[in-house]
Chain A
Amino acid sequence: NAGVTQTPKFRVLKTGQSMTLLCAQDMNHEYMYWYRQDPGMGLRLIHYSVGEGTTAKGEVPDGYNVSRLKKQNFLLGLESAAPSQTSVYFCASRDGRLTYEQYFGPGTRLTVT
């Protein structure tokens, strides 16, 4: 059981470039989440999904898009990266039935120059 994995672990982008962050979970969880974590700001929810083919906006969705084509994968896209998107991105999953515990991935450190 790998749990929640994130790809890549680190990335440097130039302003205006695009990229996709991949989150994969092998626990058959229904719910998946993307957060960003900035110093002094805590974890902020970007988008989330409560099942395959569904997505919803979180607290800070602007500049990001997501897709959940397969239950085990949740992709976060940046179409035109901006320096304000420099952050550490965490993916999390949750069973969604009887439990509320979230399992987090190791994070992706993104720098936009």
Chain B
Amino acid sequence: SQKIEQNSEALNIQEGKTATLTCNYTNYSPAYLQWYRQDPGRGPVFLLLIRENEKEKRKERLKVTFDTTLKQSLFHITASQPADSATYLCAPLSGTYKYIFGTGTRLKVLA
């Protein structure tokens, strides 16, 4: 079955450093992969989408890579700030309509 793996352990980093989160998927080949941010008690918020023919996508301090050979996406936040503390969800597209979400990685940026 299709499976998404994100590091379930929380990631703590110092303010100003680059945070790198990993998303691995197995048993399928998504054409698109999205990253969402979720704050406690709130719904996820879309951050970035990357297509299978794109190696890298950037948006302000965010960068996403997509390696279809390794079946992995990396999500980077540069110059991290305490306001970046949240849970980040990876969601590869399955077929045309459906997404499979990872369990998310909780990021805490320490001041």
Interface flags, A70-113, vs B, CB<8A=1, else 0: 00000000000000000000101000000011111111000000
* Complex: A102 Cα to B35 Cα, angstroms: 11
Q: In the complex, what's the smallest C-beta–C-beta distance from A42 to chain B, in angstroms?
A: 4
* Complex: A50 Cα to B42 Cα, angstroms: 24
Residues of A within 8 A of B101 (CB): 35, 42-44
Using CB atoms and an 8 Å cutoff, list the residues of chain A in contact with chain B. Answer: 4, 31, 35, 40-45, 48, 50, 56, 58-59, 90, 92, 100-107
With beta carbons under 8 angstroms apart, the residue of A41, A56, A101 that contacts B46 is A101
Contact (A100, B103) CB under 8 Å given A45-B98, A48-B98: no
A43 nearest in chain B by CB position: B101
With beta carbons under 8 angstroms apart, the residue of A31, A42, A101 that contacts B97 is A31
Residues of A within 8 A of B100 (CB): 45, 59
- Residues of B54-91 at the interface with A, using a CB-CB cut-off of 8 Å, are 89, 91
Residues of A within 8 A of B32 (CB): 100
With beta carbons under 8 angstroms apart, the residue of A40, A102, A106, A107 that contacts B99 is A102
> A45–B42 contact, CB under 8 A?
no
B44 sits at the interface (CB 8 A): yes
Contact (A58, B49) CB under 8 Å given A42-B103, A107-B42: no
